Amino acid sequence: MPQLRLRVNGQSHTVTVDPETPLLFVLNDNLGLRGPRFGCGLAQCGACTVMMHGQAIRSCVKPVGSVGADEITTLEGLGSPDKPHPIQQAFIDEGAAQCGYCMSGVILTAKAALDANPRASDEQIRTALGGVLCRCYAHNRIMKAIRRYAHSLAS
Amino acid sequence: MPTVSRREFIGTGGALIVSFGGFHAQAQGPFDTHASHIDPNQLDSWVAVAGDGTVTAKTGKCDFGQGIYTAQTQLVAEELCVPVARVKLIQCDTDSTPDQGTTSGSQSSPTNFRTQGLAEAAATAREALLEMAARQWKISPQQLTVAEGVITAAGGRRITYAQLIGGKQFHLMLSATAKRRPRDQWKVLGKPVSSLDRKALMTGQFEFVQSVKVPGMLHGRVVRPPQMGATLASVDKNSVSDIPGVQVVVRKDFVGVVAGTQHAAVLAARQLAVKWKPGPDLPAQADFYDYLQKQPSQDELLVDSGNVEQTLVAGKPLRAKYFWPYQMHGSLGSSCAVADVQNGKVTVWSPTQSVYPTRSCIAKILGVPLETVRVIFRRGAGCYGLNGADAVSFDAAVLSHAVGKPVRLQFSREDEMRWENLGAAVVTEHRAAIGPDGTIIAWHRENWEAALGNRPGYENPGNVISGVLLGYEPQKPRPAPAKPPQGRLRNQSNTVPEYMAGCIGDTCGGGGTVHNERVLTHQALSPVFTGPLRSPLRIQNTFANECFMDELAASVKADPVEFRLRHLKDPRVIAVLKAAAKAANWGAPSSARANGTGRGVACVNYEGGNGYAAMIADVEVNRETGEIRPQRFVVAIDCGAVSNPDGLRNQTEGGVLQGMSRALIEEVKWDSRHITSTDWVSYPALYLDYEMPEVEVVIVEPPDAPATGAGETAITIVGPAIANAVFDATGARLRQVPLTRERVRAALA
């Protein structure tokens, strides 16, 4: 089995895995990361989302061998409980979760959209989140948290 | 569905009742549980004070995202007069927490926030500590004050909890006379404390069961049969010999694989050659509701005044039938458990709502002594009831038992969705007549519920798919005619509309005024598994009741709110109904509203006294496409004493929108062989791009009412409020959920 080098949350890792292995399994099982999670394995829900070159991608269908040298950022790469990223802080302030299993998809997808367009309208933000699911239906608080973060960008 | 006393255990107190009746005699604990090695009557089972003054509390009610972890922490902090940060709560671990049965059925608040369970323990501990200080200083406890874990006497003498008992046990029984701190003095409880899991959730640090790691852990997958009732013919273990490190586990009809990595386990499960003997075909979905009503059924009469038919014949009865489909829990994360069966010990990290019952079933399945099994709760994705949590825990234990190593098992999306215990399909028929004075003079209600399996409880692993594959039988309805109703009205499934008087003999347990009443239920065998899904049967029943009430109001051209009030006498339902109507400005002229919009109302007395809610829904209906767009929901909720207003709002907002999703789009589909809703394309949900209506939550809090459940109340009234609003907008009645575009167009045609 080949050795692969990965850059994740600012650190380098070497893993020995089948290159066809979904990136998600490597992040969870080889690197012990908890942020991205298996939801459907079909790229339908977003629970496994990570960021790669500014884009939110679905790590459950991304073969680890196709990642190459690109930096990967997971939810824990944005900030920590002591020093949350401003978008994480906005979610904390709004209490924008119930079970919280969807958070990687929600926060990273919203961040990618606002990184690309800090002045994105509500409608543009919603469109960006079109493939992200929250089954607790915390939708309204999630939108409030994103808006709160977007306003902090604008001001 | 066989709702075995899901909620009938309030008031059993802390008494340990030992039953000696029959072969399966089992010591009973409180809360409808079995007696366990942790005595719920001992204070040390619940509360400990460490040498540094930290309070550790133990609870049998666990948090899946509904906020009960934070609320229970507040409760302990409040009763012990310590800051929230000084309380460490341990939830649901059969090695250390008391058996409180299942965390379900909106029962955590009634169980632990009144005068029993955790509340009783925390109040007992505070009184015991005050007593200790008083003894030491030879004064009366009444002369002491306590704050921040420090007891102070007049003159300034001080002693801390840690100095009094730090690190030592209380050796006291719970005191039924221990006084809760008065609500008007609460400092922590009743305040909007930020959920304690938030920072970890938002930063990816939270340990879900999916993240649990055990040294030497392997990865499993299950290989399910192609259809219900299929049995195993053969497994070709050589078919996966090219995947390194794969072990195939077969036990009766259970098939699974274990490998060193998740990837290898996924590949092996896909590649394993398994032959099955087919099971029977499923009844056709197209006419399933007709099929359901023709099945032999287990019948129950909840009320029967004996004179309904005569009165109906005399009046001009209105008749309508309502249909609610099978629906899914559809957890965002497929269910997962980690089991470690080695050296005569079984440890399972499980997302189950029922650690003790799950422990009992796992001991039974593995044939090992109960005391060798430990089940530790770890949160999975929001479950909303009995999702795959119990099944995956059984399966993980079987796999680990077979290979002698710890095994992490996570279902595929298809494993999760095809085999879960669905929310039941229900058909309801109402007939009622209205007298010359505009009030209902007779009401007959009959429904048909599909049931197969349920929660496994302590004894019935066959109530979920894993148990059936291992050879256990699921619970099924036992067809029999109904007996005359007896005792007090039992309305825990909201079968009896709250407008009925609910009289059995001279005792009327209903909240309404209709005395000519008959309510008959038929429970028929379901072709697919059923089980509790947020507001089980209550959402189905409330939809039928509240839509029909609207039809009755319209038949006499009455205002739907006023017509409800005409038939209600329960003051708390009346209060939430009026509060919602006021907040939504009900009664404003409809001319003020845009064309194609409408408003609807619905209310509920949840389970006959476990919470109250009323909703006004504003919707817009597109006559061309048939699409219903809810614009605004105003919901008033009364759950007695509120532990955490922010938590209550969060639960209510989510419950309302989940209720909207279930009302508008959710329906399980199947073909002749099996369920075909196996992913998020074949089972729809509302993604984050859906423009959600505003949800305005009005909290109604009567001054002296004890805490009731809150998580399941509001979800029940969303469907009927929407359907009634569609009638207001269009004049068309929708009686079948989901309220799809096709059905709206058909109703308008």
Q: What is the pLDDT of residues A94-138, one digit of tens each?
A: 999 999 999 999 999 999 999 999 999 999 999 999 999 999 999
Asked whether residue B21 carries a pLDDT value surpassing 50, the answer given is: no
Share of chain A above pLDDT 70, in %: 100
Q: How far is A149 from chain B (nearest CA, A)?
A: 14
Backbone angles phi, psi at B150, to 5 degrees: -120, 130
Q: Is A69 exposed, middle or buried (0-12, 13-18, 19+ CB in 10 A)?
A: exposed
pTM of the model: 0.96
Q: Tens digit of pLDDT for each residue in B154-168?
A: 999 999 999 999 999
Mean pLDDT over each residue of chain B, to the nearest integer = 94
B261 and A38: CB-CB below 8 Å? no
- Helix and strand totals (H; E) in chain B: 18, 29
Residue type, B69: Y
What confidence score (pLDDT) does residue B30 get? 62
B194 and A37: CB-CB below 8 Å? no
Asked whether residue B671 carries a pLDDT value surpassing 90, the answer given is: yes
What confidence score (pLDDT) does residue B589 get? 80
A97 and B211: CB-CB below 8 Å? no
Contacts of B203 in chain A (CB under 8 A): 35, 75-76, 78-81, 84, 88
Banded model confidence at residue B316, pLDDT cuts 50, 70, 90:
confident
- Taking CA–CA distances from B329, the nearest residue in chain A reads A135
A78 and B198: CB-CB below 8 Å? no
What confidence score (pLDDT) does residue B454 get? 98
Contacts of B67 in chain A (CB under 8 A): 98
Instruction: Give the per-residue SS3 of chain A.
Output: CCEEEEEECCEEEEEECCCCCEHHHHHHHHCCCCCCCCCCCCCCCCCCEEEECCEEEECCCCEHHHCCCCEEECHHHHCCCCCCCHHHHHHHHHCCCCCCCCHHHHHHHHHHHHHHCCCCCHHHHHHHCCCCCCCCCCHHHHHHHHHHHHHHHHC
Q: Tens digit of pLDDT for each residue in B261-302?
A: 999 999 999 999 999 999 999 999 999 999 999 999 999 999
Q: Tens digit of pLDDT for each residue in B632-642?
A: 999 999 999 99
Distance of alpha carbon B122 from alpha carbon B120, whole angstroms: 6
Asked whether residue B63 carries a pLDDT value surpassing 60, the answer given is: yes
B204 and A92: CB-CB below 8 Å? no
Long-range Cβ pairs for the range B159-162 (8 Å, 24+): B159/B133, B160/B53, B161/B49, B161/B53, B161/B55, B161/B80, B161/B82, B161/B129, B162/B49, B162/B50, B162/B51, B162/B52, B162/B53
Contacts of A104 in chain B (CB under 8 A): 204
Distance of alpha carbon B348 from alpha carbon B336, whole angstroms: 11
User: Of B208, B332, B653, which is closest to A45 when you measure between CB atoms?
Assistant: B332
CA-nearest of B303, B278, B314, B397 to B348 is: B397
Q: How far is B203 from chain A (nearest CA, A)?
A: 5
Asked whether residue B10 carries a pLDDT value surpassing 60, the answer given is: no
CA-nearest of B79, B99, B115 to B35 is: B99
Asked whether residue B13 carries a pLDDT value surpassing 50, the answer given is: no
What confidence score (pLDDT) does residue B4 get? 37
Beta carbon pairs, A and B, within 8 Å? 198
Q: Is the distance from CB of B385 to CB of B329 less than 8 angstroms?
A: yes
Between strands B318-324 and B597-605, the pairing is unpaired
What confidence score (pLDDT) does residue B29 get? 64
Q: How far is B410 from chain A (nearest CA, A)?
A: 9
Q: How far is B543 from chain A (nearest CA, A)?
A: 20
Distance of alpha carbon B77 from alpha carbon B118, whole angstroms: 11
Instruction: Please compute the mean of the pLDDT values over residues B392-409 and round it to a whole number.
Output: 98
CA-nearest of A19, A112, A101, A23 to A61 is: A23
- Taking CA–CA distances from A94, the nearest residue in chain B reads B194
| Residue B442, strand partner residues | B433
Q: Tens digit of pLDDT for each residue in B590-623?
A: 766 778 999 999 999 999 999 999 999 999 999 9
B205 and A40: CB-CB below 8 Å? no
- Taking CA–CA distances from B260, the nearest residue in chain A reads A29
Between strands B517-525 and B254-259, the pairing is unpaired
What confidence score (pLDDT) does residue A111 get? 98
Q: State which H helix or E strand residue B553 sits in.
A: helix B538-555
Residues 6+ apart with CB under 8 A from B455: B102, B104, B354, B357, B386, B390, B463, B531, B532
The lowest-confidence range among B11-25, B87-101, B315-329, B380-394 is: B11-25
CB neighbours of residue A1 within 10 Å? 10
Contacts of B689 in chain A (CB under 8 A): 126-127, 129-130
Instruction: Please compute the mean of the pLDDT values over residues B559-577 and round it to a whole number.
Output: 98
B687 and A106: CB-CB below 8 Å? no
Asked whether residue B212 carries a pLDDT value surpassing 80, the answer given is: yes
What confidence score (pLDDT) does residue B32 get? 67
Distance of alpha carbon B269 from alpha carbon B271, whole angstroms: 6
What confidence score (pLDDT) does residue B27 get? 63
Asked whether residue B16 carries a pLDDT value surpassing 90, the answer given is: no
CA-nearest of B590, B560, B551 to B732 is: B551
Backbone angles phi, psi at B202, to 5 degrees: -75, -15
**Strands in B512-571 per DSSP E:** 517-525
Instruction: Please compute the mean of the pLDDT values over residues B423-441 and round it to a whole number.
Output: 97
User: Of A38, A77, A84, which is closest to B410 when you measure between CB atoms?
Assistant: A38
Banded model confidence at residue B9, pLDDT cuts 50, 70, 90:
very low
Instruction: Please compute the mean of the pLDDT values over residues B577-585 and round it to a whole number.
Output: 98
A88 and B681: CB-CB below 8 Å? no
B263 and A18: CB-CB below 8 Å? yes
Q: How far is B634 from chain A (nearest CA, A)?
A: 14
